[in-house]
């Protein structure tokens, strides 16, 4: 598979009409998670690594890719409400914000891809901006509930999702105490900190790397590309050119080698009669 290097033209990070201010709270949270995750070698055990891998998959593939992305944001399939809420709860455990915040930001990304004013993580502002800079210098219009909720109004109608949107971090604390009780500090370090930091970067690569490197199956107006290693790390979401070409399609991988692990779960749910109206 040949890869092309297609770098969006960089524009200045700070536009003349706006002043970006750092969020010290976000910098502290992201910074401390990274620092604590770096202590992993001193807490290693095979069971802790297994816990990290399991929760990476549960919160990443099931929570973010299936629930937040394909169900809530793109309505690519329907599952019973009780199941949807369980899956969305897994997404809230990924510590990537609540479901309304996530769906609203992602809707804006698709509606205004690579528009520096309207795409929360426009790749035209550079790799680091699209990867994590937009979280460290948050703009009110994307982070203030009253301003962003209209971009995910269907999600906002559910009272449980409104609760999750505010209190998703509470679930992480409960999970942390559960892991501490079951496996001690090594399970907490791996199951919460290592897993969360690694998953953050896997998800963020979908916003950054797949708008910089890879190949195209389809001619899109934006710079989205398919990147094999993000396809693997982000459970199918790295086939980003396929996805931007037709965002509602439930299956992100289109060619036989474009492995889409999240799609396999959708197939299982379909076989069990739990996934309906799967968009193909």
Q: In the complex, which residues of this chain contact Zn ion (CB under 5 A)? A: 224, 247
| CB-nearer residue toward Zn ion: 34 or 75 | 75
State in angstroms the smallest separation of the CB of 217 from Zn ion.
15
Contact indicator for 44, 235 with CB cutoff of 8 Å: no
State in angstroms the smallest separation of the CB of 110 from Zn ion.
6
Q: Collapsing DSSP states into helix, strand and coil, what is residue 258?
A: coil
Strands 213-214, 4-5: pairing is antiparallel
| CB-nearer residue toward Zn ion: 224 or 242 | 224
Which of 85, 89, 102, 99 is CA-nearest to residue 55? 89
CA distance linking residue 57 with residue 248, whole number of Å: 22
Contact indicator for 249, 225 with CB cutoff of 8 Å: no
| CB-nearer residue toward Zn ion: 175 or 279 | 279
State in angstroms the smallest separation of the CB of 222 from Zn ion.
7
How far is Cα of residue 252 from the mean position of the Cα atoms in its chain? Answer: 14
Tokens of 33: 């998670």
| CB-nearer residue toward Zn ion: 161 or 212 | 212
State in angstroms the smallest separation of the CB of 260 from Zn ion.
13
State in angstroms the smallest separation of the CB of 106 from Zn ion.
5
State in angstroms the smallest separation of the CB of 123 from Zn ion.
8
| CB-nearer residue toward Zn ion: 203 or 224 | 224
Which of 245, 236, 237, 256 is CA-nearest to residue 216? 245
CA distance linking residue 168 with residue 152, whole number of Å: 17
Contact indicator for 195, 34 with CB cutoff of 8 Å: no
| CB-nearer residue toward Zn ion: 59 or 130 | 130
Burial class (CB in 10 A: 0-12, 13-18, 19+), 116: middle
């Amino acid at each position: 598979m040949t890869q092309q290097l297609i770098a969006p033209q960089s524009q200045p990070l700070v536009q003349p009409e706006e002043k970006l201010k750092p969020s010290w709270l976000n910098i502290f949270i992201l910074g401390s998670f990274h620092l604590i995750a770096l202590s992993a070698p001193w807490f290693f055990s095979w069971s802790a690594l297994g816990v990290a891998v399991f929760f990476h998959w549960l919160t990443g593939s099931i929570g973010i890719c299936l629930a937040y992305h394909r169900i809530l944001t793109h309505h690519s399939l329907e599952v019973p409400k009780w199941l949807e809420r369980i899956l969305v709860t897994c997404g809230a455990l990924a510590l990537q914000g609540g479901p309304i915040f996530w769906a609203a930001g992602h809707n804006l990304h698709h509606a205004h891809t690579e528009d520096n004013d309207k795409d929360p993580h426009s790749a035209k502002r550079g790799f680091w901006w699209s990867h994590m800079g937009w979280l460290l210098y948050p703009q009110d219009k994307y982070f203030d509930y009253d301003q962003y909720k209209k971009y995910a109004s269907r999600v906002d109608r559910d009272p449980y999702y409104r609760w999750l949107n505010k209190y998703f971090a509470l679930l992480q604390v409960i999970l942390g105490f559960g892991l501490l009780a079951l496996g001690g500090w090594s399970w907490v370090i791996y199951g919460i900190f290592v897993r969360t930091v690694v998953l953050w970067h896997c998800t963020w690569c979908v916003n950054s790397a797949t708008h910089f490197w890879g190949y195209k199956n389809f001619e899109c107006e934006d710079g989205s590309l398919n990147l094999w290693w993000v396809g693997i790390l982000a459970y199918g979401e790295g086939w980003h050119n396929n996805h931007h070409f037709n965002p509602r399609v439930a299956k992100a991988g289109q060619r036989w080698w474009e492995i889409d692990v999240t799609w396999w779960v959708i197939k299982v749910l379909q076989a069990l009669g739990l996934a309906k109206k799967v968009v193909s």
